[in-house]
Amino acid sequence: MHPNDRDFYLGWGTLMLINAGLAQGKGRSGFLWSIASLVLGPIATLLIVVLPPQRRSD
């Protein structure tokens, strides 16, 4: 594995964790958004930021 590959995977994994936290803060599933981040990367971040918070039914 090339050293730059390791940095890429570390950055992508960090982005997944950040997106999971953002999603949970907006009332969405952190797990599902972390999987979406694995596929979509920064586009998932944009979607989380742009989408309105999900209303919780009590």
55 — pLDDT class (breaks 50, 70, 90)? confident
Concatenate the DSSP letters of all residues of 1-58 into one string: --HHHHHHHHHHHHHHHHHHHHHHHTTS-HHHHHHHHHHHTHHHHHHHHHSPPPPPP-
Q: What is the pLDDT of residues 10-41, one digit of tens each?
A: 999 999 999 999 999 999 999 999 999 999 99
8 A C-beta contact, residue 24 and residue 48: no
Parse the chain into domains and list their residue ranges.
12-49
Task: Report the alpha-carbon distance of residue 14 to residue 21 in Å, rounded.
Answer: 11
